[in-house]
Homo-oligomer: A and B are copies of this chain.
Amino acid sequence: MIQRMRIGPGEKPRIAARDPRDDLGLRDKARAHARLEELKARIEVLQQRLYAEARHSVLLVLQGLDASGKDGVVRSVFAGVNPQGCRVASFKAPTSTELAHDYLWRVHAVLPARGEIGIFNRSHYEDVVAVRMLELAPERVWRRRPGHIVAWERMLADEGTSIVKVFLNVSKDEQRRRLQERVDDPEKRWKFRRDDLAVRARFDEYLAAYEDVIEQTSSEHAPWHVVPADRNWVKATAVAGLLVDALERVDPKLPEPESGIEGLRIE
């Protein structure tokens, strides 16, 4: 399952050629849900050990176009995991204080500590893709950023952070359906902004911008994965599987107790 999603270093992701409805061999919703529950139970156990050991951290980076389901993945995969030791950071348009620093400053500040799982709902990749698409900086500025990012992620990996990067690949048609649902549902309507339509109108250009940055920044130490995102049950199970894979590579161990504790009677 994981190999089908992983983009090797220097490999062209060919996002547009990938099927957003691919079921990754999960076959049906019931099977996928059963698998998701197993994976979540495994995350729970591994997260406790990660937290207890407090030597490594895991960072999950979630990117995707509007309505690709980033919020939904956070909820499906992490609701049920102990929130102690789990840290979600969402990145919106930078504040004036954040803009007064380099683009990695605000991101660096909220990285998971040793023992924690960090989830980035959007990330420093917006500082390449959104900046490019909205012309927030000249081309020479965003062109050099993938190079910085590869080096910075290398440092993080060397210092004990396992990085898993996910691009949620939603189709243009499924995006239309989900945006329409937001408009039609009074409970969801507040989430919809007219600006979303301007972004949607450039769907293919956004995809091409992701194509570039994913190719430039997928590395052995911080690989990208293109996850088919038209079906929620595929997406959630796939991301949970990637997280379990990362945690198993870390293989955290419970720390040794103080010596001579065994057999102690508490008065």
Q: Is A119 an interface residue (CB 8 A)?
A: yes
Contact B86 A90 (CB under 8 A): no
Contact A183 B262 (CB under 8 A): yes
Q: Shortest CB–CB separation between residue A189 and chain B, in angstroms?
A: 4
Contact B189 A262 (CB under 8 A): yes
Q: Is A29 an interface residue (CB 8 A)?
A: no
Provide the A179-222 mask, 1 if CB < 8 A to any CB of B, else 0.
11001000101111110010010000000000000000000000
Contact B84 A74 (CB under 8 A): yes
Contact B84 A75 (CB under 8 A): yes
Contact A194 B258 (CB under 8 A): yes
Provide the A67-97 mask, 1 if CB < 8 A to any CB of B, else 0.
0000100110011111111111010000000
Tell me which of B85, B190, B262 contacts A256 (CB under 8 A): B190
How many monomers of this chain does the complex have? Answer: 2
- A13-32 residues with Cβ-Cβ distance < 8 A to B are none
Q: Decide yes or no: A267 and B83 within 8 Å by CB, A192-B261, A254-B190 being known contacts.
A: no
Contact B81 A90 (CB under 8 A): no
Q: Is A266 an interface residue (CB 8 A)?
A: yes
A93 to B87, CA, bound (A): 21
A150 to B267, CA, bound (A): 37
- A90-146 residues with Cβ-Cβ distance < 8 A to B are 90, 119, 121
| Chain B residue at smallest Cβ distance from A257 | B189
Tell me which of B87, B183, B191, B258 contacts A264 (CB under 8 A): B183
| Chain B residue at smallest Cβ distance from A175 | B266
Contact B84 A121 (CB under 8 A): yes
- A147-203 residues with Cβ-Cβ distance < 8 A to B are 176, 179-180, 183, 187, 189-194, 197, 200
Q: Is A265 an interface residue (CB 8 A)?
A: yes
A88 contacts which chain B residues (CB < 8 A)? 83-86
- What are 23 A-to-B residue pairs whose CB atoms are below 8 Å? A74-B82, A74-B83, A75-B84, A79-B80, A79-B82, A81-B83, A83-B88, A83-B119, A84-B90, A84-B119, A84-B121, A85-B88, A86-B88, A87-B87, A179-B266, A180-B265, A183-B266, A189-B257, A190-B254, A190-B255, A190-B256, A192-B261, A193-B258
Those 5 A-B pairs whose CB atoms lie nearest each other, nearest first: A189-B257, A190-B255, A180-B266, A84-B88, A78-B83
